Structure 1
């Protein structure tokens, strides 16, 4: 009977053989993903997707069982070769491989690549690679032809194809406005697994590079600013612009928050000009910086495409320009950011993680910052773009900065479920304080003739109100914390000898960071026809204007920030909870 059943293709299900095969194919994605999970580098999504996608390689083995060992060997060698890239990158940088890495590889020359390799390579990587390869070989030896019948094999193959490709793709097509967008979302599902992280990564890199090159080509055609004059022409000068991320000034003790979240900046307060009435025009990084770094505003939202940027302006004034960024480099969302950075003479890209929600510390900017400060160029502009307090907050600071762990100093309305997130945001602000203050201290130690300006791109709501439990940013439902940003200026003693630095009468001026380029030019001693000193926060010609927020492409959505600004920003003692046992 058994022989008859087998002859008809009804063999038993060979789950053990299938398990060894799956383990072999998953191994090449799984080792790196497991290391990422064990080190808490990022969330669980990439691990889950790599686990699921690895099962697709079972299909050819199920359909051609007699060639199981050969198919597994060929596929295995391809997966092994591709996986070495991601594994090696994680061992060196502690980050997940992405298209940003491909961008850095192609942007670097051979000398730079060898310098990076020599700096990070350690001897133990050789036995790691050898051990990794040896285990793959052992798994391959455990593989055997599956004892499935023809019917079972075909049914299981169809189930795998429908479950891993058919259903997810159909679901994306039904949800997305175009087939192109659906395919991009589907690619995100398979990208964590090898070899797709290389295949998809390279395709994304080429797509985003084309978009960036078009933007840069258009930028290169822009006419220079008219009739520019520089009061510092020919004099050694170093200017630093530090752009924060998602930091709401209402959560900084520098601005009166009851928790000591900015102890280092608090110590420096006598050296700082702390402006306390500045808001961002939009609560999203790209949209905000399109205005902050250019002459664009709510009346001319496309101005970032048609007028010079702050970097262009400083290059025209004779400055060598540097861009140090801990933001993701080459993603579709961040193409505009990379375009701004590529306008600079030199770039340092530090964050090449696949996901934004990954452990990445802003302290990484300090080493390249010191290197740029030592550059022999007499006139330098240094832009430092931080990851700041971006979600997920727990990934923004090392364990040593986990200071806030209970509800002491938190508002009474923060629930037990919300407390961990509320605290992690304050811890992120605490670490951001360390980074920004360290930049100031290192800048000061270099004895520069110049100033440093720090502001955040936008704020962030993290249970700051007793109503609604709001977290994150939503332009359609604006709240004060999404828009209130820190804005501070530090100047060296040399700078103060020839430039006014007493802005005490100006610190409470209502201001939108959309006009930053006018303030920056004024501070730097530049003048040109396009400069409007009535939009300079530090000018005697300053004119108070409504702080307009909203989407400029939907004029009806634009409102004055005063309409959402609370009457009382700082917390009273009555609002604070006592520490629970």
Structure 2
């Protein structure tokens, strides 16, 4: 050791190569997996960047106790290697990034399900890859050597390493967030990609969200059932399907008149569909929209979901076996409400366990196989809820390469700039793939000759460089555009169901409606009546009343607006822009 220290002194006092080997050794257990994830396109490079920074933390004990460098490196490295195997193996099997959603699935699965997964995915090459991965770590450990820093430089180096690895991010989140709880959650999310923390943070968040979900479920269990519920189809076999889309603006669907052929399959099925063309979502965010879509809450009474049954519980009360199939992320801080809703169903199929939704390995077609299995279930009365990723940002991750059909300016409005063109086209490609998924679900359902109906709608829309707000991308209820709220709303009914229900769809296809009252429409379509049912809030009821279509945050009165006024203002701005363009020519 004295020889190494003397040699370091002759080189200027710091063994930089030794520090480099230390860092590479610790980085290996996070960086290898994150590098594979990034290079495969399964997720962005953000995880690699985060893991690379957090890995610097483990240099501190080795610099503080250089006499025990190899022992400390061995102990810490073993912990990192063992904790990294979950993420490494998960990527080898699924091509996805390990997340707390995976932990949720692991703990929610029984031993039979776990053994079935192991049998299905086990391959010897995975064993050899894991052994090779361990061998790589051992070879790097052999390169680790003591590094003796000058006494005055040691505390400075340790502080800098802590700041770079965790300290800066912790302070940054604390100053940026409005509560300590929020800051802690964001901080944990930003260190989650690194080994050890991936399991520690994932398990901590799993327990936290499980506690929150358990409380919500417990509260919902105490909600009394609907009063005096009757079912016009009681005693009859029935299968009802609700497809919940994501971020899909109907103004970008050829089914609704868009110039590009973005929905060729639904266009082909149009004669079998009831296409409602004046429906909006109440809020441009999934969780907030779902709180109203799937409950009795609405813009005027946003807290009713806390005291009235959800759509799932309503259907269970009517005697339906309920299923929830989702390609949305399962267990994240943001998605607890969705998972709580899904847990009310009798059976759940969680398909998306990625830490990052932006992956090229998780397309919505994954819902087709479990949907087929549910249709084959012998239960006589079934409700099937399917939640898609749809056209969620980032759009290029929502479709496989063969659906990248819109790549040039053909059919693109003149207002779209060259810099915006790629994103504009990728959204249309996402709509095109969504058309394939939704039409495939309809065709599979139709092939079973069901007694029932299928309804597809989106939670909200999306603004993607649409005129006259040419620079707007995404959703912002403080600066609303119509595209953020206009949603597709389609119904397919089987002949046997329609014959019994005899709903006059022709009278309701153009009615102005907000999905904040959707539960009344669903109950009406399903033939359910109860004391809480309001005919005027059902889109398909003869007693329908055209109510103001409010948008905005119902908890902040200043943000609440009438959608139709927003639409009028946008139409006027568009007309003014056209006139100015014509005058300029």
Q: Same fold (TM over 0.5)?
A: yes
Report the alpha carbon displacement of residue 51 of structure 1 after superposing the two structures with TM.
0.7
Q: Is the 8 A contact 1:250 1:570 kept in 2?
A: no
TM-score by length of 1: 0.95
- The answer for the alignment partner of 2:295 in structure 1 is 294
Q: Is the 8 A contact 1:456 1:486 kept in 2?
A: yes
Report the alpha carbon displacement of residue 162 of structure 1 after superposing the two structures with TM.
2.5
- The answer for the alignment partner of 1:244 in structure 2 is 245
**What CA distance in whole angstroms lies between the structure 1 residues aligned with 2:213 and 2:509?**
38
Q: Is the 8 A contact 1:283 1:475 kept in 2?
A: yes
Q: Is the 8 A contact 2:460 2:487 kept in 1?
A: yes
Aligned ranges 1:188-337 → 2 under 5 Å = 188-337=189-338
**What CA distance in whole angstroms lies between the structure 1 residues aligned with 2:562 and 2:20?**
61
Counterpart secondary structure, 1:451:
strand
Aligned ranges 1:65-214 → 2 under 5 Å = 65-146=66-147, 148-214=149-215
**What CA distance in whole angstroms lies between the structure 1 residues aligned with 2:273 and 2:452?**
14
Please give the per-residue CA displacement for 1:339-366, whole angstroms capped at 9, x wherever unaligned: 1000100001111111233332111111
Larger mean CA deviation between 548-557 and 476-485 belongs to 548-557
Q: 1:150 to 1:7 in 2, by over 3 A?
A: farther
Please give the per-residue CA displacement for 1:475-528, whole angstroms capped at 9, x wherever unaligned: 100100000000000112322332225512211100000111111111111111
Q: Is the 8 A contact 2:392 2:398 kept in 1?
A: yes
Report the alpha carbon displacement of residue 403 of structure 1 after superposing the two structures with TM.
0.7
Aligned ranges 1:151-550 → 2 under 5 Å = 151-359=152-360, 360-550=362-552
Q: Is the 8 A contact 2:282 2:514 kept in 1?
A: yes
Please give the per-residue CA displacement for 1:452-478, whole angstroms capped at 9, x wherever unaligned: 000000000010124351001001001
Q: 1:375 to 1:546 in 2, by over 3 A?
A: same
Report the alpha carbon displacement of residue 419 of structure 1 after superposing the two structures with TM.
0.6
Q: Is the 8 A contact 2:463 2:475 kept in 1?
A: yes
Q: Is the 8 A contact 1:26 1:51 kept in 2?
A: yes
Q: 1:253 to 1:68 in 2, by over 3 A?
A: same
Q: 1:440 to 1:117 in 2, by over 3 A?
A: same
Report the alpha carbon displacement of residue 170 of structure 1 after superposing the two structures with TM.
2.0
Counterpart secondary structure, 2:322:
strand
Q: Is the 8 A contact 2:83 2:199 kept in 1?
A: yes
Q: Is the 8 A contact 1:10 1:152 kept in 2?
A: no
- The answer for the alignment partner of 1:578 in structure 2 is none
Please give the per-residue CA displacement for 1:128-149, whole angstroms capped at 9, x wherever unaligned: 1111111111111222222544
**What CA distance in whole angstroms lies between the structure 2 residues aligned with 1:385 and 1:3?**
61
**What CA distance in whole angstroms lies between the structure 2 residues aligned with 1:238 and 1:82?**
44
Counterpart secondary structure, 2:106:
helix
Q: Is the 8 A contact 1:5 1:11 kept in 2?
A: no
TM-score by length of 2: 0.94
**What CA distance in whole angstroms lies between the structure 2 residues aligned with 1:84 and 1:281?**
44
Q: Is the 8 A contact 1:240 1:453 kept in 2?
A: yes
Larger mean CA deviation between 349-358 and 540-549 belongs to 349-358
**What CA distance in whole angstroms lies between the structure 1 residues aligned with 2:88 and 2:502?**
53
Q: 1:9 to 1:62 in 2, by over 3 A?
A: farther
Please give the per-residue CA displacement for 1:265-296, whole angstroms capped at 9, x wherever unaligned: 11111110000000011111111111110111
**What CA distance in whole angstroms lies between the structure 2 residues aligned with 1:246 and 1:358?**
17
Q: Is the 8 A contact 1:414 1:466 kept in 2?
A: no
**What CA distance in whole angstroms lies between the structure 2 residues aligned with 1:194 and 1:335?**
25
- The answer for the alignment partner of 1:564 in structure 2 is 566
**What CA distance in whole angstroms lies between the structure 2 residues aligned with 1:240 and 1:255?**
22
How many residues are treated as equivalent by the alignment?
572
Q: Is the 8 A contact 1:10 1:150 kept in 2?
A: no
Counterpart secondary structure, 1:564:
helix
**What CA distance in whole angstroms lies between the structure 1 residues aligned with 2:226 and 2:127?**
54
**What CA distance in whole angstroms lies between the structure 1 residues aligned with 2:193 and 2:6?**
41
Q: Is the 8 A contact 2:5 2:148 kept in 1?
A: no
**What CA distance in whole angstroms lies between the structure 2 residues aligned with 1:570 and 1:468?**
11
Q: Is the 8 A contact 2:293 2:515 kept in 1?
A: yes
Q: 1:437 to 1:4 in 2, by over 3 A?
A: closer
Larger mean CA deviation between 305-314 and 464-473 belongs to 464-473
**What CA distance in whole angstroms lies between the structure 2 residues aligned with 1:267 and 1:32?**
44
Gaps of 5+ in 1: 576-581
Report the alpha carbon displacement of residue 569 of structure 1 after superposing the two structures with TM.
12
Q: Is the 8 A contact 2:223 2:307 kept in 1?
A: yes
Counterpart secondary structure, 1:239:
strand
- For the aligned residues, what is the CA RMSD? 2.1
Q: Is the 8 A contact 1:290 1:296 kept in 2?
A: yes
**What CA distance in whole angstroms lies between the structure 2 residues aligned with 1:53 and 1:295?**
45
Q: Is the 8 A contact 1:242 1:454 kept in 2?
A: yes
Q: Is the 8 A contact 1:250 1:569 kept in 2?
A: no
**What CA distance in whole angstroms lies between the structure 1 residues aligned with 2:145 and 2:68?**
10
Counterpart secondary structure, 2:505:
coil
**What CA distance in whole angstroms lies between the structure 2 residues aligned with 1:570 and 1:514?**
28
Gaps of 5+ in 2: 580-585
**What CA distance in whole angstroms lies between the structure 2 residues aligned with 1:259 and 1:117?**
45
Counterpart secondary structure, 1:488:
strand
Report the alpha carbon displacement of residue 10 of structure 1 after superposing the two structures with TM.
9.0
Counterpart secondary structure, 2:500:
coil
**What CA distance in whole angstroms lies between the structure 2 residues aligned with 1:237 and 1:570?**
46
Report the alpha carbon displacement of residue 6 of structure 1 after superposing the two structures with TM.
7.7
**What CA distance in whole angstroms lies between the structure 2 residues aligned with 1:347 and 1:54?**
37
Structure 1 stretches of 4+ moved >4 Å: 2-11, 568-571
